[in-house]
Structure 1
Amino acid sequence: MTPRMLKQTLEEWSREVQVPADLADRALRRRSRLRLTRLAGAVACAAVVAAVALLVPLVAVPLLDKAPVSQVGGPPVVVPVQPYRQTTPAQDLLADTENSPPKTMIAAGRVAVSAYYTWRRRTVAGREAMDRTWYLLDQVTESYEKTEWGWVEVAPGLRWAAVLEKDLPAGRIGIFDMETRQVRAWVSVDHPVGGVSWSPDGTRLVATAYDDHPDLDRDSIHYGRRCPARVAATPEDPRQSRFQTVSTSRTGFYVVDVATATAGDFHAVDPCWTDNSNVRRDFAWSGDGTLIRERSLSRWHDAFLDLEGRPRDAPDGYVPSESKAGVSPDGTLLAGRDGMPTKVTELSTGKIVGHQQVLQLLAWADDRRLVALGCAGRCGNEFNNGLVLVDVDGGNAVPLTANRKNSQQPGSWEPVLTLR
C-alpha cells in the first residue's frame, strides 16, 4: 500500500469511529475501579503515541517531499517500476454520463480512460499548431485533474505516467508517480522529443524526437520537407500520391529504461521511411515489445524497426488491423475498420461474427465486449458522439460518457484508453 492510499484509509477509519451513547454512564460506574482505569488509560495512550510515532514517518515524509529526483550530479536513480500484469478490476464498469468532459473515472473491463485532453489552435512563431490541455486520472479520488504538461502517456497498470513539458518538443522526459502525484525522475535527451509510448510491460519508453513542433497545422508546414511519392495515383485511387506530399519534422527515437531513468542512444530514422501523411508520426511498440512500429497509412499495416533503428519484418503472429482495438485478448477475433456499422471477424475463418452500430472500435474490454465511439440518437451528426461499451454481436450498448456536441470543434475532449 502506498503512503497516499494508507493516509486515505486511516482518514476513512477515523470517520467510522463511533462514540457509545452510554459512555458517560460507564464512566460513573464502579468508581472503585477508577485508579485501575486511569492506569489502563495511561498505558493505552502510551501505545497510541508509540503507534503514531511509527506511522508518521510512513505517511508524512513521502507526502512532504515534493522535489523530483534527478540523476544529474547525484546517485543513480531507481524508479520502482514492475512489469505489468493484468489483474481483475475491482469494479468492472465505471461511467460518467452527466459531465462532458468527464469528472469521474471512466472504465470498462480491462481498460480505463487514463487521461484526456482538450485542444485549441494557437500561434507558434507565426504558424498554427494544436495546443493540448491534459487531464490525468487520480485513482484514489477516481477523478481527473488538470495538468500543466504538454504531453501525457500513462503506463499499463495506471501506476506511472510519462510527461513532457508544455513547449514541444521537450528536452527532458518526466517519470510521473500517479500515487504521490509528483515527478519521480527526469530523463534528459539531446534531441528534443514530442511524444512517448510505453512498452507493453510498462518498463520502457520509446520517445519520438522532432526538430520542430510535432503538431503544426498542415497549412503551416515548411513544404521544403516534401517526400517523393512512392505510390503513383491511379484511376481507382487518385489520392495515393498524397501520402507522400507532406513530410514531418520527426528525426528519430530513443528507448528509455524507466527503472534507471536513462535514455539509450539516439537512433535517426528517415522521415520519409513510410507512406504517411500525418505531421505527428510517433513511434509505438510491437505487441510483444521486441520491435518499434509505425503505421503506414497507404498500406494499412505497421512498418517495423528493431531497437537500433534498423528495418525489420513484422514479428511472428502479427495481424494487420484497420482499427485501434485490433485483436481480442484471447487472440480469436479482429475488430474491423472505422465507419458505421463496424464489424468483428473471426480470425481463423474470416467469418463476420457481429456488426455494431458505432463509429469506431477503440479497445477490447474483454474477449466479448469493446469500448467504442458511438454517436448520439440516430446518428444525425457523427461528430455528436461519446464512449459506449458494446457487445461483439452489437446487441447491447451501454453509455460510458456524455456525448460531445461537436468533436471537431476546439475545446472538445479526446479520451486516452489504457490497460488497468
Structure 2
Amino acid sequence: MTPRVLKETLEEWAQEARVPRDLADRALRRRGRRRFAAFLAPALATGIVVLAVMLVVPWLRAAGPAPVRPAVSSSGAPLRQVIPLRPADDPPVKVTFDERSRGGVLTDTRDSPPKKMIAAGRVGVSAYWIWHPRATADGETLDRTWYLLDQVTLRYEKTDWGYLDVAPGLRYAAVLEKELPVRRIGIFHMETRRVLAWIPVDQPVAAVAWSPDGTRLVATAYAENPDRRSDDSAQCPPSDGGGTDTAGAVAGPRRWSMRTSRTGFYVVDVATATAGEFRAIDPCVVDNMNTRRDFRWSDDGTLLYERSIVQGQPDVFYDVEGNRHAAPADYLAKESKAGLSPNGRLLAGRDGLPTAVTERATGKVVGRQRVLQLLAWADDDHLVALGCAGTCRNEFNNGLVLVSVDGAKTVQLSANRKNTTKPGSWEPVFTLR
C-alpha cells in the first residue's frame, strides 16, 4: 500500500458517521499488500483487522454494486444524492527513474497486453481495451474488452464494462455496461472496486469522458451501438457548404458520406450524480466516416468538441448548452494527441517518423524524435510516444516509449505489439496521475 492510498483510506473512513458497508472489503484487499505494516502502527493495524473480522460475516455474501445511502435532512426528507468525490492531486511535475516516487517510470516490457502498470511522470496508462470484430446479421460489430488499473495491486484487471473512462488522479472511472448504448452511467471507485452510484439518463449513451478537473462527464448519446457497422444508421450526404454557423464561421463543404446514430450529449455533474438536460446535436456537421462520433472536452474544460478526420478541416466546438462555438485561440495549432507541453512553451508535432517538437512562440524546431506518434507529455522535457520496433520496417509493429524532447534518450515502456491492425491488439488510455 502506498502512503497516499493509506492516508486517503483512513481519511475516508474517518469522515463516515457510520461504519461503511464496504469496510471489510477494503481491509481484506489491503491485507495482501506486504508493505501494510510499514505505514501503520501495530496497534492500529491490529484494530482494523479485528474490526474487519467482526464485520465480514454479515456482508461476505453481498453481491453487486455498493449502494449509496441517500442523504436526508433534519426532518428526514431525502436530499439529492451526493458522491463524495475526492479532488485529484496535482500530477507529478518531473519524470523520475525511481519507481517508488510519484513521477516514477513504471514499465512492463515483457507482457503484451501489459499486466503491470505503465506510467511516466505526470501520465499513466489507466486502462486499455482489446478489440475483436464480431459478425452480425446485418453487418459487423467491434467488441471491446476493457482492462482497468487496480490501484491497490498496480496491475490491470479484466472488466465486464462495455465502455469506460478514468478521471484525473486515477481514483474514479465512469463505466457503461455491455450491450451499448445504455441508460445509466456508473461511477466506479478504483481502489475499493465498487460502483458508488448509477446515474440514469433518458437517452441511451455509448461513451463517457471526464472533464479535465474530474468533476463532470460528457456522455455521448446514440440511438444504436456506434461500434456496429451497418447500412441502417443515419446517412449524411455530401453538401456544397455555404452559410454560417452559430459562432459566425463560414460552414465549409461536407465532402464525405457518413453514417452514424449519434443523437447528442449530456453533461453530468458527478458529485450530485445527476445528468443535465439532453442536448441534441446535428450528426452531419463534421466530415467523418466513423459511426462512433464521441464528444471530448477542450483543454480548459469550458467547451466540448467533435473531431474532423479531414486534414485542414478544423474540429467543431460547442458550449455545454450545445451551441456552436469558436475554437479556442491555441487549439488550431495542435497537430498531435500530445499538444502543448505542461508549461505551454513547446508544441508536439504531427504524426510520422520522425516527429518533431517546436517552440510555440517562434516555431523553431527544438528536437526531433525517432518515433511514430507523440501521445502525451510526461513532463516539460519528455513525452510518451508510439515507438516502432527495430529498424521501423513495419509501422504497425510498435510499442509505448518514453522519449526526451531532444530525441537523445528513449526508454521502452511496453512490449511491442506485433500488428496493431489485427484483432486482439490493445489500445491504451492515458490519464493524469
- TM normalised by structure 1 equals 0.83
Counterpart Cα distance in 1 of 2:345 and 2:44: 58
Counterpart Cα distance in 2 of 1:357 and 1:51: 52
Q: Deviations over 1:139-174 (max 9, x none)?
A: 210100000111011111000001111101111111
Specify the alignment match of 1:387 in structure 2: 400
Bigger mean CA offset, 319-328 vs 258-267? 319-328
SS of 1:344's partner is strand
Instruction: Figure out how many residues of one structure are paired with residues of the other and give that number.
Output: 383
State the AA in 2 paired with 1:342: T
Q: Deviations over 1:164-214 (max 9, x none)?
A: 111011111111111110111111111111111000000100000011211
CA contact 1:82–1:202 (8 Å) conserved in 2: no
From 77, 80, 89, give the equivalent of 1:76: 80
Q: Deviations over 1:94-153 (max 9, x none)?
A: 000000000100001110110011111113453201100000000210100000111011
Counterpart Cα distance in 1 of 2:108 and 2:363: 36
Counterpart Cα distance in 2 of 1:63 and 1:86: 36
Pair 1:331 & 2:341 matched? no
Task: State the Cα distance separating 1:80 from its structure 2 match.
Answer: 1.5
CA contact 1:253–1:267 (8 Å) conserved in 2: yes
> Radius of gyration: which is bigger?
1
Q: Deviations over 1:204-244 (max 9, x none)?
A: 00000011211123xx2337612333569xxxxxxx98852
Counterpart Cα distance in 1 of 2:278 and 2:44: 57
SS of 1:372's partner is strand
Identity of aligned residues (%): 57
CA contact 1:275–1:297 (8 Å) conserved in 2: yes
From 378, 395, 398, give the equivalent of 2:411: 398
- 1:3-402 residue pairs with structure 2 within 5 A? 12=33, 66-69=64-67, 76-88=80-92, 90-217=102-229, 220-222=230-232, 225-230=235-240, 243-298=255-310, 299-402=312-415
| C-alpha spacing 1:98/1:297, structure 2 compared with 1 (3 Å) | same
Task: State the Cα distance separating 1:286 from its structure 2 match.
Answer: 1.1
Counterpart Cα distance in 2 of 1:195 and 1:74: 30
Counterpart Cα distance in 2 of 1:268 and 1:125: 30
SS of 2:196's partner is strand
Counterpart Cα distance in 2 of 1:284 and 1:390: 26
Counterpart Cα distance in 1 of 2:343 and 2:78: 45
Task: State the Cα distance separating 1:278 from its structure 2 match.
Answer: 2.0
CA contact 2:108–2:115 (8 Å) conserved in 1: yes
Bigger mean CA offset, 147-156 vs 291-300? 291-300
Counterpart Cα distance in 1 of 2:363 and 2:118: 32
Task: State the Cα distance separating 1:277 from its structure 2 match.
Answer: 2.4
Counterpart Cα distance in 1 of 2:136 and 2:79: 38
Counterpart Cα distance in 1 of 2:305 and 2:215: 17
State the AA in 1 paired with 2:294: D
Counterpart Cα distance in 2 of 1:402 and 1:119: 18
State the AA in 1 paired with 2:403: V
Q: Deviations over 1:64-89 (max 9, x none)?
A: 86533369997632212134342335
Pair 1:413 & 2:426 matched? yes
Query: Structure 1: 5+ residue runs without aligned partners?
Result: 18-45, 233-239
Query: Structure 2: 5+ residue runs without aligned partners?
Result: 1-7, 10-22, 71-76, 93-100, 243-251
| C-alpha spacing 1:185/1:56, structure 2 compared with 1 (3 Å) | same
Superposition CA RMSD, Å: 3.1
Task: State the Cα distance separating 1:346 from its structure 2 match.
Answer: 0.8
Counterpart Cα distance in 2 of 1:47 and 1:112: 32
Task: State the Cα distance separating 1:6 from its structure 2 match.
Answer: 5.9
Q: Deviations over 1:1-43 (max 9, x none)?
A: 32677656666579979xxxxxxxxxxxxxxxxxxxxxxxxxx
SS of 2:213's partner is coil
